[in-house]
Structure 1
Amino acid sequence: MKPLESDAPLIVYVDVKSPYAFVAIRPILALEKELGLTFDWRPLTLDIPSYLGSAEKKKGKVVASEGRSQKTWNAIRYSYRDARRYAERQGLVLKGTEKIWDSSIANIGIMWVTQTARNRLENYLEAVYTPFWRRELDIEDVSVVESCLETAGVASDGFAEYALGGGRAAHDALQAQFHPAGIYGVPTFVIDGEILFGREHIPWIRWKLSGSAGNAPDIAYEITPC
């Protein structure tokens, strides 16, 4: 895969461990249905320690931290408060994670579903994202991800081998291309080769994919309460 190229009208990059991707999933899926289009969903596994440092909590208290200034901690706490507001508007629970997870297996699951049962992608995203952000899911355990696939109605036979073999190789090759291509976070959208970062671009994307009739909408994030 080339990071900026697809046969689909829109590429969507997400990461299971990103709170901002979590609160954007349902609006993006709703847009896909509204327009009757099929988006190209792809994983972007964030390397958080490389730019925000690392930390681990137990029972809400920090027990280990490396490379994080007080300014960084303040920014992280604010980002969670911000994302939590969007989650609550959708009737979702968003609890801050207690460690920095390796989300690559769960993200490789996105690739597996798009290749084997594309019509079940929404079910998989719901099966993995929602319990993970309630702190109920170990996304580093391949058997747990297999269970999420089964819950979503996706066959998991062969997934473990895929996650360690061809799927892992394809995932890692894609990750290596992101920064050179100008992609740094999630959710990121690519439309006609243009990169848009952040959920607030969803109204503009709707306008663009609908034919660009009339004035372009302001940059904003629309949420319909459940």
Structure 2
Amino acid sequence: MQKKTPVRVYTDYKSPYAFVAKDRTYALAEEYQLELDWYPYTLRIQDYLGTLDTRNAHQWRRVRYSYMDARRLANAQGLVLKGPERVYNGYYANAGLLFAKQNGLFRIYNDTVFERFWKRELDIDSLAAMKALIADIGGDPAAYEAWAEGPGRSEHERVIDEAEAMGVFGVPMFVLDGELFWGGDRIGMLIERLIERRAAQEKQA
């Protein structure tokens, strides 16, 4: 059996572009025999897009375009993408990703959080809402709370620090053999590298 190629994926539930790239990433893993390792990269939106009260005209044009563009991509996949009503932090959801990985719940957690958030059915900054979601997918909400309010915080920061040391600054971000590919529009380039990598391995065999 051919060994799967490890690819690290950085995501953030409040990113519309991470949302619309999710299913394509799953498909990529199946087609190219990838071992995906998903991690959160919690965007600090206010650092580059300001707060709702302080955004300038340029930032607002950028925000409006981004949601319009992501909605086009979502519509093409039959996904519902409603613009968020406020600026979210997302820690509880992203810490939950790490919790879900540890407890064998990653895929259902990833799909459910993304789907509910972009339908405006989930407050990812609410601990109570995230506990309810964990219960809905068969997890232990008390264990999740203990994780999120305890070791999850330092682990979350460690993951962010590690990502930034590699050069990560946005999502979705794919890392193959130390090379970074940012955005769903770079998946084609990632595929080229995977094909090149496979050809090199076959030549050496």
TM over 0.5: yes
Deviations 1:79-138 (A, max 9, x none): 111100000011111111111111011011110111110xx3221111111111111111
CA contact (8 A) 2:10 2:40 kept: yes
Equivalent residue number for residue 18 of structure 2: 21
Q: CA deviation at 1:212?
A: 4.3
How far apart are the structure 2 equivalents of 1:114 and 1:144?
Answer: 19
Deviations 1:164-206 (A, max 9, x none): 1111111012223444432110001111011111111223333
Correspondences of 1:79-98 after superposition (within 5 Å) = 79-98=66-85
* Root-mean-square deviation (Å): 2.0
2:56 to 56, 66, 69: 69
Structure showing the higher helix proportion among its residues? 2
2:109 to 107, 124, 133: 124
How far apart are the structure 1 equivalents of 2:31 and 2:128?
Answer: 34
CA contact (8 A) 2:5 2:33 kept: no
How far apart are the structure 1 equivalents of 2:164 and 2:37?
Answer: 19
How far apart are the structure 1 equivalents of 2:32 and 2:197?
Answer: 13
Structure 1 stretch 29-38 or stretch 134-143: which is displaced more? 29-38
Equivalent residue number for residue 218 of structure 1: none
| Residue 42 (str. 1) matches residue 39 (str. 2) | yes
CA contact (8 A) 1:108 1:171 kept: yes
Equivalent residue number for residue 59 of structure 1: none
Aligned partner of 2:66: which letter?
A: S
CA contact (8 A) 1:123 1:153 kept: no
Q: In structure 2, do the counterparts of structure 1 residues 31 and 150 end up closer, same or farther at CA, with 3 Å as the change threshold?
A: farther
How far apart are the structure 1 equivalents of 2:73 and 2:98?
Answer: 26
Correspondences of 1:169-188 after superposition (within 5 Å) = 169-188=154-173
CA contact (8 A) 1:94 1:134 kept: yes
CA contact (8 A) 1:188 1:196 kept: yes
- Which contiguous aligned blocks of 4+ residues in structure 1 show a shift greater than 4 angstroms? 210-214
Partner of 1:168: helix, strand, or coil? helix
CA contact (8 A) 2:173 2:180 kept: yes
Equivalent residue number for residue 151 of structure 2: 166
Aligned partner of 1:74: which letter?
A: R
Deviations 1:17-56 (A, max 9, x none): 001101111111122233343311000000011111011x
| Residue 189 (str. 1) matches residue 170 (str. 2) | no
Aligned partner of 1:42: which letter?
A: Y
Aligned partner of 1:27: which letter?
A: R
| Residue 149 (str. 1) matches residue 134 (str. 2) | yes
CA contact (8 A) 2:134 2:144 kept: no
Deviations 1:66-90 (A, max 9, x none): 2x11011101111111100000011
1:32 to 26, 29, 36: 29
- Structure 1 gaps of 5+ residues are 1-6, 56-64, 215-226
| Identical positions, percent | 38
How far apart are the structure 2 equivalents of 1:8 and 1:15?
Answer: 23
Aligned partner of 1:53: which letter?
A: G
- Structure 2 gaps of 5+ residues are 200-205
Q: In structure 2, do the counterparts of structure 1 residues 213 and 177 end up closer, same or farther at CA, with 3 Å as the change threshold?
A: closer
TM-score, normalization by structure 2: 0.87
